[in-house]
Structure 1
Amino acid sequence: MFPASANIIIIGGGVLGASAAFQLAKDGHQDIVLLDRGPLASGTTPFAAGQTAYLSVSPDRLPLTTYCLDFLENFADRTGYPIHFNQHGSLRIALTEAYLPELEAHQVAADQLGHELKFLTPEEAKELVPTLDVPDAKGIIFIARDGYVEPKSIAIGYASAARDLGVTIQTHTKVSNIEVTEGKVKAVHTNRGKIQTNHIVVAAGAWTRQLTQRFGLDMQVVPVRHQAYVTAPLVDVVPRQPIVRLIEPQIYVRPEAGGLLVGGYGYRPVSFDMDEFPNRFEISALEPDLIYYSRLHDAATTYFPALRQATVVHERRGLPTITPDAKYLVSKVTEIKGLIIAAGCQVGGIQSSPAIGRMVADLISGQDYFGLLSAFAADRFESVYSDAQLRDQCETVYGNLYLQPH
């Protein structure tokens, strides 16, 4: 039976919305409904690389990133649902001396936490990743606790745990409007009926900006196309090899089903207005940018020569949401009481989902677990961007993600 009312409605059953549902239910909130326009985890979530990079060089963010790491390491204990966390570490590689200070800042962060971080020679790195060829790299660090997960399993795990705690999940339910009366949310209108509510969490991924524009808001977040590809099995790929992140060319490479998954930033950033797509559009139908793939592949073969002869067997692409300052958007909305936005994953929604879900719950529960909610508030932007300026700025942010200190 379709509900007529709920205390909390979450719009979006991807990894952020599902995490928020779980965290809210874990906090003891009741009468929660999670809505998704398609099946659960059917937006950008299943096309993610699922990689973690917890060792932030910003001291104030370390509690947030280490919370996410601990959550993923203990996902089954926290939710009751196991995931496969391939925790084989990561290599972060500076090809020029300009980025050595960033590697050294990671060393400081690791020392502060008492975690393992090693500087490696190019030869030592090649022992871990036989297909890697960076003989002239200026600096290479190995971060032992990084890894990657199957992204859809995370969202399904959150949703399953939320359901066990009493959350109602309604899929194939498209939100057409949010009813606001006297500055307060009143109801959500869907293709299946109207639901009265006290709180609405918009975690609608690529559709967040367009959905909130319908009731006069201008959220500073846009979807930008991100692409990766997977090769057929390669002889020298080691199943337990670490993720490789090359800073200057902004490329990441990790093992996938015996081959390599290759992705990168800055090869032709393009943002989108979701209202320009057909009404029934889904992320799985997103057209590829062949120029992007060509540039990415050409750059990657410089450091992974085996890719020159590799066969591409699968393409991945999605529309992660980007903000003008490369920070999450997790916030109440001062203009509308009861409305919360959870967006701006910065192409890191899987790894940041535990913390984003936690912060959404904090906004309703009246807490601030990390003490960072003000940094992610919707009203933090001093500049008012036109639509064209916002898209241009977010494309620039996306196109330089690896070049900014993490």
Structure 2
Amino acid sequence: MSSFPTSAKAVIIGGGIVGCSTAYHLAKLGWTDVVLLERKKLTSGTTFHAAGLVGQLRSNANITQLLGYSVDLYKKLEEETGQATGWKMNGGLRLACNEERWTEVKRQATTAHSFGLEMELLTPSEAKELWPLMNIDDVIGAAYMPTDGQANPSDITLSLAKGARMAGATILEDTKVTKVVMDDGVIKGVMTEKGFIECEKVILCGGQWTREFAATVGVNVPLVPMEHQYMVTERIDGITSDLPTLRDPDRLTYYKEEVGGLVMGGYEANPIPWATKGIPKGFHYSLLDSNYDHFEPLMELALGRVPALETAGIRTLTNGPESFTPDGNFIIGEAPELKNFFVGAGFNAFGIAAGGGAGMALAEWVKNGEPPFDLWSADIRRFGRPHFDTDWVRTRTVEAYGKHYTMAWPFEENSSGRPCRKSPLYDTLKDKGACFGEKLGWERPNWFATEGMEAKDIYSFGRQNWFDTVGEEHKAGREAAVLFDQTSFAKFTLKGPDAEAALSWIAANDVKKPVGSLIYTQMLNDRGGIECDLTAVRVARDEYYIVTGTGYATHDFDWISRNIPKGMNAQLVDVTSAYSVLSLMGPKARDILATVTNSDVSNEAFKFGTAKTIGIAGCPVNALRVTYVGELGWELHLPVEYATTVYDALTEAGAEFGLRDAGYRAIESMRLEKGYRAWGSDIGSDHTPAEAGLAWAVKLKKNIDFKGRKAAEAQRDNGVKKILACFTTDPDVVLSGRETIYRDGKRVGWLSSGGFGYTVNKSIGYGYVRSNEVINADFIRAGSYELEVATKRVPCTVQLGPLYDPKMERVKR
């Protein structure tokens, strides 16, 4: 460029694969006045030393779709730009060396089929035909995905950069951004060592530098650098250029062909965090000292698989830092702390595989104000308060790295950085046998050990050790009463003269209700997709109390606050930490509650869908008559300082009625029987109320405008092409989600959630039946259905209504 740009529509910071891909896609979308700034040279951060494997399958359909987009892009990129990419679609092998891993691989194959990917199961000898140098003495089976491949990280990044320039983008190397310039909290541009560039939007793709830079504008990006090593050999006889990539998770290692030799790396159980005191200045095109002692255990494992490595010449042992995250997924999206500040970082050593798709998604997010499809599992808003502490982030990330190739068990919990956030009842419940899970730092009872049991999960792909105990908690909830500690619920107040008007615009259901009303509602995007699924209680003329799921605290707060119409006087405040929640559920719940309060809790005085303040043991309790388990019940919201007092009063009064402590596993099994939807699995931003069977909670019959109304009206008038249905099968079949749905022999979708219903004694799954044509309930019922479970098809029954209904309560959260 002959002159330095003084303004741009958007500035991208970082010239690795994700930054260059974002520039490429924005320019292709017509944003030709986008500028990418790289402090040193393109790829000089972490991209240049990436291993370059490109796999596609993940446990989430849309992340798999995003990785598949990368493959489609890399196939054609070299032809488009004339710049080599090193792309080879040579397929990918994954080995299984014990029965549990073989079960996992078969379940992964079913997940692949669910998402439309080809994955073949092979015998050991068939796998050896594809990968002749490996020893298969311990191999039970393998999976092969023909569309996986590999690329040269630097070449493919430079090809994306060239394509971006060809489409009109500006890319400047040796141009360090010193700060984001703000005015009253609004981005005005970026200051560089060469001058100021005015812009409205900033996209930070700074790899391992992202957390530190984002913090300068108050944005939290939970990632830390970790050392990651791989070895490159000299040529080895028998290695061909079309050799598939190989993942050997039981030996913690991966392999790919490179110039007639092998790249071999892995994920050790004791990884080494890097730059714990900050990344050294001037670190670019830099590697760390090779750590042969730390790599030796991986090498020994690899020798058992590939004996030829014993005599192969070693060209290099590359040790390069990579950015990893606390949950092993990357971070993408608009920061909740700062409007128009976007992030694409933390790719956990699969940045080359994700780079094409992540750049596409980030570019569309920047241009359109929303992602092209639901990316919740990678969304920056999935994090919360614990993730502001770098020490906590590092501790959890070390665990996540170490689990990269370990078995991905159903219901697996993390163990590091715990306990972090505790209910006042934590110690009480722990003493009573609670086995805790963790979400967003909160300790939550999953189940309670009975006499002779240890309060510890024992993982398997079959029924786990807590299965029967949870069944007893479930039974108590259906026949007597249970008490759940749900203090971790995210809780907000929306207050101000315009609170009603603001919430009326954001909420799909009618919130213009009398004080004391409880409203279950979704909040929709402009496509009609469900962005939030929550309860709002009108506590005053100018105030609502909003309750949503633990894991959605950041996301839902951001969605509501961003969508309060400009000029309206309404303030949203997070009050999560101020209140405990005890959920009293079951047919005996009223009997117990009446024993501890002087308030009238009869059905006539305290109807479903209402809330009122009652007194219990000297505590003012905000009692919400609502349930997520399909029974008579109340959520009791109370100041945290009263939690133990109220809990003691309830447990003492409940003893004669069979009251039992219960956990989140029982909540899940009961909600599956009742057909309640779970946001993040059954419903989300890609699903509408009409598709999810929730159209009854949308105020289309009222003359009240709201966000997403036009899309909801269009579906009402034109119909839908997918419908959420319930599937039940034999109790011996274990459903965990992502099993493939077949209708009349044709693949039509996959399960979004799965589990077991103890009352109906059936395995239960929910999933969308999809069609290219408009469908209705009659279409769903007319089909004959099967589920593919670990590659085996099993017959199942479809149902659209609840499996269980005590005929007490209708509208639930």
The alignment's TM-score, normalised by the length of structure 1, stands at: 0.93
Distance 2:370 2:179 in 1: 29
Question: C-alpha displacement at 1:368, in angstroms?
Answer: 4.7
Contact 2:365–2:372, Cα closer than 8 Å, also in 1: no
Distance 1:195 1:229 in 2: 42
Distance 2:322 2:248 in 1: 21
Question: C-alpha displacement at 1:110, in angstroms?
Answer: 4.0
1:311 — aligned with what?
Answer: 313
Alignment partner of 1:262: what SS?
Answer: strand
Question: 1:169-318 maps to which residues of 2 (within 5 A)?
Answer: 169-266=171-268, 268-273=270-275, 276-318=278-320
Contact 1:129–1:238, Cα closer than 8 Å, also in 2: no
1:98 — aligned with what?
Answer: 100
Within the candidate set 129, 132, 139, 1:130 is matched to: 132
> Which has the higher mean CA deviation after the structures are superposed, 278-287 or 7-16?
278-287
Contact 1:20–1:356, Cα closer than 8 Å, also in 2: yes
**Match status 1:399 vs 2:402:** yes
> Which has the higher mean CA deviation after the structures are superposed, 208-217 or 109-118?
109-118
Which runs of 5 or more residues in structure 2 are unaligned?
Answer: 410-813
Question: C-alpha displacement at 1:11, in angstroms?
Answer: 0.5
Alignment partner of 1:87: what SS?
Answer: coil
Distance 1:257 1:196 in 2: 45
Instruction: Return the letter of the residue paired with 1:392.
Output: T
Distance 1:83 1:183 in 2: 41
Question: 1:342-353 maps to which residues of 2 (within 5 A)?
Answer: 342-353=344-355
Distance 1:193 1:211 in 2: 18
Using CA pairs under 8 Å that are at least 6 residues apart, name the structure with larger relative contact order, 1 or 2. 1
1:268–1:332: structure 2 CA closer, same or farther, 3 Å change rule?
same
1:367–1:355: structure 2 CA closer, same or farther, 3 Å change rule?
farther
2:159 — aligned with what?
Answer: 157
Alignment partner of 1:315: what SS?
Answer: strand
Which runs of 5 or more residues in structure 1 are unaligned?
Answer: none
Distance 1:179 1:198 in 2: 10
Question: CA deviation digits over 1:368-394, x for unaligned, max 9?
Answer: 554223333322124514221111111
2:48 — aligned with what?
Answer: 46
Contact 1:265–1:399, Cα closer than 8 Å, also in 2: yes
Distance 2:339 2:79 in 1: 35
Alignment partner of 1:324: what SS?
Answer: coil
Question: CA deviation digits over 1:265-306, x for unaligned, max 9?
Answer: 025412234763432122524233332322221221111111
Percent of pairs with identical residues: 31
1:404–1:202: structure 2 CA closer, same or farther, 3 Å change rule?
farther
1:388 — aligned with what?
Answer: 391
Alignment partner of 1:337: what SS?
Answer: coil
Within the candidate set 139, 144, 169, 2:146 is matched to: 144
Within the candidate set 344, 362, 365, 1:363 is matched to: 365
Distance 1:274 1:201 in 2: 25
1:287–1:190: structure 2 CA closer, same or farther, 3 Å change rule?
farther
Question: CA deviation digits over 1:122-141, x for unaligned, max 9?
Answer: 22222222221121212211
Alignment partner of 2:199: what SS?
Answer: strand
> Which has the higher mean CA deviation after the structures are superposed, 54-63 or 14-23?
54-63
Contact 2:246–2:255, Cα closer than 8 Å, also in 1: yes
Contact 2:53–2:256, Cα closer than 8 Å, also in 1: no
1:173–1:363: structure 2 CA closer, same or farther, 3 Å change rule?
same
Distance 1:387 1:397 in 2: 15
2:69 — aligned with what?
Answer: 67
1:371–1:404: structure 2 CA closer, same or farther, 3 Å change rule?
farther
> Which has the higher mean CA deviation after the structures are superposed, 58-67 or 2-11?
58-67
1:198–1:392: structure 2 CA closer, same or farther, 3 Å change rule?
same
CA RMSD of aligned residues (A): 2.2
Contact 1:63–1:370, Cα closer than 8 Å, also in 2: no
**Match status 1:107 vs 2:109:** yes
Alignment partner of 2:286: what SS?
Answer: helix
Contact 2:67–2:356, Cα closer than 8 Å, also in 1: no
1:168 — aligned with what?
Answer: 170
Question: CA deviation digits over 1:226-248, x for unaligned, max 9?
Answer: 11110111123233221111112
Distance 1:206 1:163 in 2: 25
Question: C-alpha displacement at 1:102, in angstroms?
Answer: 2.3
1:338–1:382: structure 2 CA closer, same or farther, 3 Å change rule?
closer
Alignment partner of 1:314: what SS?
Answer: strand
Distance 1:25 1:274 in 2: 37
Alignment partner of 2:332: what SS?
Answer: strand
Question: C-alpha displacement at 1:82, in angstroms?
Answer: 5.0
Contact 2:365–2:371, Cα closer than 8 Å, also in 1: no
1:33–1:372: structure 2 CA closer, same or farther, 3 Å change rule?
same
Alignment partner of 1:85: what SS?
Answer: coil
Contact 2:106–2:121, Cα closer than 8 Å, also in 1: no
Question: CA deviation digits over 1:83-125, x for unaligned, max 9?
Answer: 3322221110011111122211232244346654332222222
Question: C-alpha displacement at 1:222, in angstroms?
Answer: 1.4
Question: C-alpha displacement at 1:218, in angstroms?
Answer: 2.6
Question: 1:27-38 maps to which residues of 2 (within 5 A)?
Answer: 27-38=29-40
Question: C-alpha displacement at 1:151, in angstroms?
Answer: 1.1
Alignment partner of 2:18: what SS?
Answer: helix
| Bigger Rg, which one | 2
Question: C-alpha displacement at 1:148, in angstroms?
Answer: 0.5
Contact 1:57–1:102, Cα closer than 8 Å, also in 2: no
Distance 1:215 1:35 in 2: 18
The alignment's TM-score, normalised by the length of structure 2, stands at: 0.48
Question: C-alpha displacement at 1:315, in angstroms?
Answer: 2.8
Contact 1:57–1:405, Cα closer than 8 Å, also in 2: no
Contact 2:209–2:279, Cα closer than 8 Å, also in 1: no
Distance 1:118 1:325 in 2: 28
Distance 1:374 1:366 in 2: 17
Instruction: Return the letter of the residue paired with 1:222.
Output: V
Question: C-alpha displacement at 1:177, in angstroms?
Answer: 1.7
Contact 1:210–1:274, Cα closer than 8 Å, also in 2: no
Q: Which has the higher helix share?
A: 1
1:114–1:12: structure 2 CA closer, same or farther, 3 Å change rule?
closer
Alignment partner of 2:250: what SS?
Answer: coil
1:166–1:274: structure 2 CA closer, same or farther, 3 Å change rule?
farther
2:322 — aligned with what?
Answer: 320
1:303–1:83: structure 2 CA closer, same or farther, 3 Å change rule?
same
Alignment partner of 2:9: what SS?
Answer: strand
Question: C-alpha displacement at 1:60, in angstroms?
Answer: 4.3
